[in-house]
Chains A and B, each alone.
Chain A
Amino acid sequence: MDIISTYGAILVLVAAVVGFLMAWGVGANDVANAMGTSVGSGALTIKQAIFIAMIFEFAGAYLAGGEVTATIRKGIIDSSFFVDTPHLLVYGMISSLLAAGLWLTVASYKGWPVSTTHSIVGGILGFAVMSVGGDAVSWGKVGGIFASWIVTPAIAGLIAYMIFMSAQHLIFNAENPFQSAKKYVPIYMGFAGFILVLVTIKKGLKHVGLDLPTAAGYGLSVAIAILVAIIGKIAIERIQFDENSDKQMHFNNVEKIFALLMVVTACCMAFAHGSNDVANAIGPLAAVVSIVNSGGQITQSAELDAWILPLGAIGIVLGLAFFGKRVIGTIGKGITHLTPSRGFAAELAAASTVVIASGTGLPISTTQTLVGAVMGVGMARGIAALNLTTVKSIILSWVVTLPAGAILSFIFYEIIKSIFG
């Protein structure tokens, strides 16, 4: 107890710094995944992508980041084991953050595609198992998280498959693809807007002090969706098209319309990423803060401190601003046959999946949903070539990340324990 009261302020400060660094890492590391499709398919320039990402990552983190944070903070371990030794839980959370941050840095340097979510979950599991033993882990919850790592890519894949198939059916196989694209693309835009707004309203706005009744929530979502669709329609009307209508040009014009849609899905993706991944950084931080504030009480229902979400959101945005350019820059122009019409299906599906899953409070991996979604478009015969070797190595790196995070976290935990006692 006395440790908490003696060192409380320092511990919070350390946790805040490490949490901020972790948020920074999330911003720097995952931004390319979130925005890669848009830049890769030429729908956005790097500058535009970073600009969009900053706004929407922040919005997502701030408006819809609360749910997952709760899971990371108190769902993974059973904190009743720490009632007599709350300082150990504080150490553990700090070491989890440190471990995850370090692992992310190493992985980024090595070019391994790791998931920020996995590294933080691994870190928390590692210190819990090593310090108190396996009983302290809520395996049910963790099992749910594991399951979601299989289920979410599958769901994203399925949604991407269906979105792509519908686009094929409605637009590319139509008598006049160009006219159909003009007609249907705004509807997709509206759908993207709808998913985004709905989840924000249902899950996120409580802590900002806005609590709408269900009907009003749906009403507002629909209203905004329609607004997005109308703006999209106007924007499409304003694109310059080659009137020279031979078939190849025709498809090019269709892709131009899809490029506009990509801008909307990129916003969605950034929002989804922010809402889901901010928790990786601030979940443990929130736990530390609530323990210190309550003088060593481990309360299961502590509210998030008002400054915590913005800290994470700002961390993500800064990481983006400083490293985003370099990360996205590596994409270059050499990329693939990822046309906007495919990119949009993958991105919209991934964003929807992430947003829905964030709503349930499960910390899922953005990278995973994207990989799943891309595979889904591939299954629909929509992608020229997918490198299965890379897909396998991505999956392998997911598996490796857990123990890596766990081991690092345990090492830091021992170090911190020896410093503060």
Chain B
Amino acid sequence: MTINPFLAMFAKSPIKPIEEHIDVVTKCCKLLVPFFEATFQNNWKEACVKRDEISQLEKEADEIKREVRCILAKDIMLPVSKSSLSELLVQQDRIANCSEYISTNVCVRNLLIPQSLQDDFRAYLQRCVDASEQAREVINELESLLETGFKGREADIVIRMVEELDQIQEDTDVMKIGLFEKLYKLESQLSPVDVMFLYDVFERVGKLADFAESAGAKIDVMLSE
């Protein structure tokens, strides 16, 4: 039967899967909170269960990433440039990879955040997860942006959301420096290798917010295209 040429012109849009992708990635990132709570309780079994869940979600995100890449590889015309979409996808993907890396490292080494740093770390982690959550909300506006042709009031709303995301990311930087200073004072009491890894964990948790912020920046780029 006839394939209607006119309707065949419409390709699958990558926007929906990109929104799905950030949803999965954010879930992945959020799991770090119960994961670290379990480590604070010294409940390593529970922590490993959480780590496996994170790993599972990361795989799921990769599946969606592949799907989006296939769509982007086709010869299609999109309202925004393919390169910004694929860069956005890369940033989103890094959040999931980073979450997996952190949980794996902590699990393998049974690395415990020192008691005196736990409260600060909890707040710091939460703020970084907030960044990812904010990025998710920005990216979920893509559909509405498409609705308004990436202009006008909807675009202004999104720009404000991105500004808020930048603010969150700045907060995490300040908190990270505080944690580094405290850890520096504790160094002498801890095993040197653990200290190195603690610095690494703090750094990478901060990266979650950095990647989220870059994702938001990509949306900014799309708006100004």
Contact = CB atoms under 8 A, between A and B. Distances in A.
Interface of A: 29, 32-33, 36-37, 40, 108, 111-113, 164-165, 168-169, 172-175, 247-248, 251, 326-327, 330-331, 335-339, 341, 367, 370-371, 374-375, 378, 380-392, 394, 397
B77 A386 contact: yes
B196 interface: no
Interface stretch (B1-9, B58-66, B94-102, B162-170): B1-9
Nearest to A341: B147
9 contacts: A33-B4, A33-B5, A111-B2, A113-B3, A165-B149, A169-B152, A371-B5, A386-B11, A386-B78
A389 B74 contact: yes
Given A336-B7, A374-B9, A384-B146, A108 B152 contact: no
Nearest to B155: A173
B13 A385 contact: yes
Contacts of A173: 148, 151-154
Nearest to A32: B4
B97 to A, nearest CB: 27
Interface in B1-37: 1-15
> Which of B79, B152, B153 has the most chain A CB atoms inside 10 A of its CB?
B79
B76 interface: yes
A32 B75 contact: no
A326 B71 contact: no
A390 B150 contact: no
**How many of chain B's residues touch chain A, expressed as a range?**
20 to 34
A394 B9 CA distance: 9
> Which of A32, A338, A380, A386 has the most chain B CB atoms inside 10 A of its CB?
A386
What is the interface of chain A mostly: helix, strand, loop, or mixed?
Answer: helix
B166 to A, nearest CB: 23
Contact of A370 (B6, B15, B76, B79): B6
Nearest to A384: B13
A305 B62 CA distance: 67
B144 interface: yes
B7 A335 contact: yes
A121 to B, nearest CB: 18
A343 to B, nearest CB: 11
Contacts of B8: 113, 387, 390, 394
Contacts of B149: 164-165, 168, 172, 380-382
B13 A168 contact: no
Nearest to A397: B5
Given A330-B4, A385-B78, A388-B75, A335 B10 contact: yes
Contact of B6 (A168, A175, A371, A381): A371
A385 B14 contact: yes
Contacts of B148: 168, 172-173
Contacts of B76: 385-389
B137 to A, nearest CB: 12
B77 A113 contact: no
Contacts of B11: 385-387, 390
Contacts of A330: 1-4
A164 B146 CA distance: 13
Contacts of A327: 1-2, 4
B184 to A, nearest CB: 47
A374 B8 CA distance: 12
A386 B150 CA distance: 17
A111 B7 CA distance: 12
Contacts of B80: 381
Contacts of B3: 111, 113, 330
Nearest to B156: A173
B158 to A, nearest CB: 12
B9 A367 contact: no
Contacts of B1: 108, 111, 326-327, 330
- The 3 A-B pairs with the shortest beta carbon distances in the complex, nearest first, are A113-B5, A173-B152, A384-B13
> Which of B2, B3, B71, B77 has the most chain A CB atoms inside 10 A of its CB?
B2
A401 to B, nearest CB: 12
B2 A172 contact: no
A383 B14 CA distance: 12
Given A380-B149, A384-B146, A387-B10, A108 B78 contact: no
Contacts of B12: 385
A154 B4 CA distance: 21
Nearest to B72: A385
B83 to A, nearest CB: 15
